[in-house]
Structure 1
Amino acid sequence: MAGPEPGGAPGPRGGRRVRFRLPPTAIPAPSGRDEERLFYRRLEALVATGPGGFEPLFAADDGWRDLTEDRLLRKLVVQEGAGGPRPRPGQEVSVKVLGALEDGALVERDPRLSFVPGHGDAVQALELGVPTMRPGEVAFFLAAFPYGYGRPGREPDVPPEAPLLWEVTLLEVRDPAPQPPPAARLRLAGQRRERGNFHFARGDFAAALRSYRLAISALDGADDARARPAAAPEDEELREQRVKCLNNCAAAALKLDREDEALAACDAALRISPDNGRALLRRGQLLARRGRDAEAAVDLRRALQLDPASKVIHAELSRLVKRRSAPQEPSPGCAARRP
């Protein structure tokens, strides 16, 4: 549908009217509330057959098909697509999403969620379900908690081990641009970093690290702008986001005991932002672990200059100073040579 003309008047009940020059006709555009009402009508039709919430739907055969062998992720086509191929690996999709709990509480509402299936940018129900759709298709995806928000749920609105029902409309399938504009790169990187934070909070550090790496790949070229004398504001934001993602990579790598990878991420962050306090602290801690005390002290002192009130940095420096000032135990060979 064409976009509204400048100065379009508000429609009834807070909606919008789309005005066309010829003929002079006003057509009310569907509002979010209209979409929600339609969703709930469809939802009521599904669960009206009996009590038990979504449980009967996991065993229903009327139009439902299983997307996984465990029958914990199922699909029901609500409206066939207008045509066109299904998404191929590596392509980006945009979907409209509404999602509800068994009690009918609406916990998902995104008019245009964009992601690349298989990159861990969305919940598994969407990662696995959307590639089965065609453009224009509307489908329900019923997911037990392993394909939704996991055993912990999602505070504050998704309880632990909650099944969810999503209504998904596949709006667009497109090949990734060879070098998207900065705004698109920032959007995608932010989405992936948030997904990494989601995994990190649940203790899935491998998945978190994967999401952070994908966020960095979306920001490729961010530090190339550092060499330009008059960088655009977007370049600075790209660099800042890259440093955040590198710091997150280091944190996840440490949780996985991958010290080399964590140290490399800190080095990369400090090449972009030499006075980044978090990277200085973490690199100082890593260098101290490896017995490179002089280098660790340089990083920790600089971190303390940037954040003099930090108790963590004070404790790390104090520990390092005590260790360096402690008398060294003589080796057995030296003791044997004493007169």
Structure 2
Amino acid sequence: MAELILNSDKLTIDCESGQTILDASLKKGIPHAHACGGKAVCSTCRVYIDEGLENVNPRNEKEQKLADSLNFGPEIRLACQTTIYGPVKARRLVLDKIDERIILSEGKSNKPRSLGEVIDASVMFVDIADFTAFSERTPAYDVVHVLNRYFYIAGNIIKKHNGRIVDYYGDGFLAIFGLDHQPNHTKNVVSAGFELQKAIKDFDHEVHDLVNTSFKIRLGAHTGKVIWGSIGIEGMRKEAAIGDTVNFASRIEQANKVLNTDFLISEALFKKFESCCVTNAEYEIDVKGKTGVYKVYSLEYVSPSVLAETV
């Protein structure tokens, strides 16, 4: 016998030798979802192994195939295919009909999706200074045309430096570096920031006569742990970056307006380049939702030889 503690149900189950987690929980009277009848097709019986992963059997061929298609981490197992040989603590991940419908909708797409993982990444928010005033006095066609031109230029620069724009909001965007576990994401975010600034200076000259206005961008960057996953319903789903690192990067970008700066980075990012960068100034800012004050740096220069290693 092996002890299974289902944290989601606050129950302890004694599993017989060779018995799957699904069979054991069903016999205990737990309404454990298994839409495909336990054939390793639908994944609605999935569980998360909180403790004791070493006490479960390796994935068989059927489970591995489904796990690969859904980007499951090692802790997410199919209860219908998993047997235990020692103490295990686990959670059912499909608790009701809403959960079941969400899970079943994943199978309608051929595109793998991230179910949620913590990654090391660098985050950059960028927006155009005083764009609201520009949009209010400019014909709609010109506003959209200028934005599309701007996002085209910016998007290609982000892509060049192994980053990805994951969200747009008006005239701003959020870019993430390190999604594929790239070790150089801190250098990439700074390299992209500098190239963006240069490109927007050229962009300003290109569109100035068209719309009779000047453009300047504000950038805020931070590095740390990011929760990365797919959110939303079928047909309106997107990949999203969540967590304190993302929120802090957003606050840093917003601080540019108050401090009259262009490119602010966090202390965590500054420490990556402290010996080879030049800053205009060091500031302390309050951050909504966080206690205390935090140092940020107005970035002017990082040694090209350092940044060239990643481009």
Higher helix share: 1
TM range (shorter): under 0.3
Q: If the length of structure 2 is used for normalisation, what is the TM-score?
A: 0.23
Q: Which structure has the greater CA radius of gyration?
A: 1
Q: If the length of structure 1 is used for normalisation, what is the TM-score?
A: 0.21
Higher RCO (C-alpha 8 Å, min separation 6): 2
